[in-house]
Amino acid sequence: MSLLILMRHGQSMWNAAGFFTGWVDVPLSIKGIDEAREGGKAIAHLPIDEVHVSMLIRAQMTAMIAMSEHNSGRTPVFQYSQEMEEGLSENEARMRQWSQIRGDAAKDSILPVHAAWQLNERMYGDLQGLDKDETRKQYGAEQVHVWRRSFDVPPPNGESLEVTAECTSPPHENTLMPSIEAGKNLFVAAHGNSLRSIIMHLDGLSKEEVLGLEVPTGVPIVYRYSAGSWKRE
């Protein structure tokens, strides 16, 4: 039996300002920091063996703040492969070379954190940085709702939830599921649409049903995996 704990990042500064964010890398607001802390307190008693986050700072902040509340007292530490690949930036190469932990006691005290761009929010294209209320006035509230919540209709020059689901599927199948099936308990801090695509898969939702799915900021959603099936707590 394993746990999969999903949590959307706390409110970001652009959530608070009412701007479409997408892949724009903005941090949490003060309210978002509080939401991450309260979300962490809600799951502090649950076992967690691995943390998975997107590449965006609002999800990473959420994970680190939430895990600072965990009862285990383990230190969340980003993991970097030691394998050197072609095309790495100097920063990536240095992190792979110089971030290795040598002491056994320190190794035993960490909570491994893995980052993947596939868990990022979907890209909102021409809407990124626009005011949500002004966009509703220009295009109509119904059209904006379809862009934001439908499965296969993308915003102009952006990604649909269908494309996001295609991105989240590889890490779910190749990274999360092997750990889950090995009996590990996972915490995933990500975004509204990347989590909607995962929940759609776990709950077996249709593309019509996912239209009404909302994922609140900073609220943990706990799934239990046992005997090949998922149950939402």
pLDDT in tens, 92-140: 888 888 888 888 898 889 999 999 999 999 999 999 999 999 999 999 9
**84, pLDDT greater than 70:** no
> pLDDT digits over 165-174, tens only?
888 887 678 8
Residue 142's contacts (CB-CB under 8 Å, 6 or more residues apart) are none
Provide the domain limits for residue 37.
2-232
Instruction: Look up residue 66 and give its amino acid.
Output: A
Q: Are 198 and 168 in contact (CB under 8 A)?
A: yes
Inform me whether the pLDDT recorded for 152 exceeds 80: yes
Catalytic residue among 35, 50, 121, 159: 121
**Percentage of the chain modeled with pLDDT above 70:** 98
Contact 5, 220 (CB under 8 A): yes
Residue 90 CA to its chain's centroid (Å) = 26
Known catalytic residue: 121? yes
How does the average pLDDT of the chain come out, rounded?
A: 92
For residue 78, the SS3 value is strand
pTM over 0.85: yes
Domains contained in the chain, number? 1
- Say whether pLDDT at 57 is over 90: yes
Instruction: Give the domain CATH number at 148.
Output: 3.40.50.1240
Residue 83: per-residue pLDDT:
66
CB 44 within 8 A of CB 67: no
| Confidence tier at 68 by pLDDT (50, 70, 90) | very high
Catalytic residue among 9, 70, 114, 191: 9
